[in-house]
Amino acid sequence: MKRFLLKRDGNGGCEAIAEECKTPTPSAGEVLVKIEACSLNYRDLLVKSGLSASGGGGDVVPLSDGAGVIAQVGEGVTKWQEGDSVALTFFRDWEDGPFETRYHQAARGGSCDGVLAEYVTAPAHSIVQVPKHLTTLEASTLPCAALTAWHALMERTRSVQKGDTVLCLGTGGVSVFALQIAKAAGAKVIITSSSDEKLSRAGELGVDETINYRKHEAWDKQVRELTGGCGADYVIEVGGPGTLERSLNSVAAGGVIYQIGVLTGFDPPQVSLFPLVTHNADINGIYVGSRAMFGRMNAFLSGHGIHPVINEEYSFGDALKAYASMEASRHFGKIVVKI
């Protein structure tokens, strides 16, 4: 079989190479999945550059998000059978319940092998059934971005509902999934971008209000104006230190900021946290979710007929071009590699 491997030089450098290797055989309690598609997340750029905290020190098969068909079932596996369409979970061993730091030891595409390969083995407890209305290409976008948005809006505190306002920063995978989930739940959604074209595409998904942050640098004031001075009940914060101050100014009384991404870097934010106090608001860190959450999300997606937004598709041989596209940040929604 063929796979990609991130080869590390021990000095922080890393090179992605394509190689041939022996097709693995599932051990007891495992399944062999013929991967049909993978999708990229910003985290994959961090792993490749050595900046991700979940990246291991050795060589690793990259990408956390993939879906395909079970090709072989290992001894003792009774729930799954050959031919089942499945997606793999991001945290291999987080099945249910509260998060534990030990789950970082098996984060696919970082601390353990990922899915940019023709075949991968996986413990039977670390896969979920692909929703019947989705292709495996679409399902490959779900494990990280979709589940992160779901965890934030539907699992961590209270479920988003009609009458709530959700602010989504940017038009990457997490924010677009958050838009789709929030609209299906009946909420009002505001989304930001530097591109009027992307904002127009968000309009096709039913977004209520848009803000071009190039034209409105003080976009937090725009959020206040668009909400009658109240602010957003939920803020999908994917920027990090460069956007946190304006997110704090945008959150409603009793609202919550979901800190998800670090698109603006890792430096400590030089901001006052006092708005958090005056608004009686919360900040919650969100890092993907459990397999049980994945199952509940899939039921919601099926019930509402939600299809992931795929912006670009690349062949397996052009996987490095997919990385380049992710780094250029021109995409709306998800970037997928077909295998």
Record the tokens describing residue 235, joined without a space: 């803020």
Separation of alpha carbons 250 and 245, rounded Å:
9
Does 159 score more than 80 pLDDT? yes
Q: Examine domains 2-144+289-338 and 157-285 and report if their fold is the same.
A: no
Separation of alpha carbons 219 and 214, rounded Å:
9
Residue-by-residue DSSP string for 180-192: HHHHHTT-EEEEE
Helix, strand, coil percentages (3-state) for the chain, rounded to 5, are: 30, 30, 40
pLDDT band (50, 70, 90) for residue 57: low
Show the CA angle centred on residue 156, arms to residues 212 and 132, nearest 5°: 80
pLDDT band (50, 70, 90) for residue 157: confident
Per-domain residue ranges for the chain? Answer: 2-144+289-338, 157-285
Record the tokens describing residue 233, joined without a space: 């009940």
Strands (E), 275-319: 282-285, 310-315
Record the tokens describing residue 339, joined without a space: 């295998």
Q: Which of 54, 69, 70 is nearest to 113 (CA)?
A: 54
Average pLDDT across the chain, whole number: 94
Alpha carbon separation from 69 to 31, 134, 210, 310, 336 (Å, rounded): 10, 13, 39, 20, 17
pLDDT score for 54 = 53
Report DSSP state, residue 144: I
Does 124 score more than 80 pLDDT? yes
Assigned CATH topology for domain 2-144+289-338: Quinone Oxidoreductase; Chain A, domain 1 (3.90.180)
φ/ψ of residue 107, rounded to 5? -100, 115
Q: Is 319 within 8 Å of 4 (Cβ atoms)?
A: yes
Report DSSP state, residue 321: H
pLDDT band (50, 70, 90) for residue 222: very high
pLDDT band (50, 70, 90) for residue 55: low
Assigned CATH topology for domain 157-285: Rossmann fold (3.40.50)
CA atoms within 13 A on the CB side of 90: 24
Q: Is 266 within 8 Å of 51 (Cβ atoms)?
A: yes
Separation of alpha carbons 281 and 15, rounded Å:
43
Separation of alpha carbons 334 and 294, rounded Å:
18
For helices 319-328 and 42-49, the axis angle rounded to 10 degrees is: 110
pLDDT score for 266 = 67
pLDDT score for 15 = 83
pLDDT score for 265 = 64
pLDDT score for 323 = 95
Q: Is 235 within 8 Å of 255 (Cβ atoms)?
A: yes
